[in-house]
Amino acid sequence: MKRKLEPGIMFEWSYTVPERATVPQLYNDTAFCRDMPDVLATGYMVGMMELACLHGMMPYVDWPREQSLGTMVHFSHLAPTAPGMTLLIKGEVTEVDGRRVCFRVEAWDEVERVCEGTHERFIIDPARFTQKVAEKVAKAGA
């Protein structure tokens, strides 16, 4: 029997920053980005924050028949992180309203806090969602 997803649930997730997650590597097809500092790209960091929340939810949903998608991110990127450093992401469920789940989340590297903010996800039925995407693609003529 699955435990109930509810406010107050806390979780942690660790992730070592790969070279491909830095600004020059992630955006290597954009010339001016190749000259930027070799640090964790904000866009990649946002993805890691989302994945930490998803990972924190998994014990409380019928994975993979229930999944979730991010619908809102509000993060502040506070400090740079070099490739090879490990992020420790800590989160808490702050609200559950039907299929909508809200989180408070922050990330630390070995030295300091590098990110903080909030995130919202919606629990989905992946088969139904995939069908809607297929209908949209057909409608667009793609």
Domains, the chain, in order of start with CATH, read: 9-141 (3.10.129.10)
Catalytic residue among 16, 30, 50, 86: 50
* Predicted local confidence at residue 142, as pLDDT: 65
Is 86 in the active site? no
| pLDDT tens series, the chain, 142 aa | 678 999 999 999 999 999 999 999 988 888 888 899 999 999 999 999 999 999 999 999 999 999 999 999 999 999 999 999 999 999 999 999 999 999 999 999 999 999 999 999 999 999 999 999 999 999 998 6
Is 50 in the active site? yes
pLDDT digits (tens, 9 = 90+) for 118-131: 999 999 999 999 99
Long-range contacts of 53-57 (CB under 8 A, 24+ apart): 53/91, 53/101, 53/103, 53/105, 53/119, 53/121, 54/121, 55/11, 55/13, 56/9, 56/11, 56/13, 56/91, 56/93, 56/103, 57/5, 57/93, 57/101, 57/121, 57/123
Residue 121, annotated as binding a ligand: yes
Catalytic residue among 55, 71, 77, 112: 77
Write down the mean pLDDT value for the chain. Answer: 95
Residue 12 to residue 105: CA distance in whole angstroms: 9
* Predicted local confidence at residue 27, as pLDDT: 86
Catalytic residue among 42, 55, 92, 94: 42
Is 42 in the active site? yes
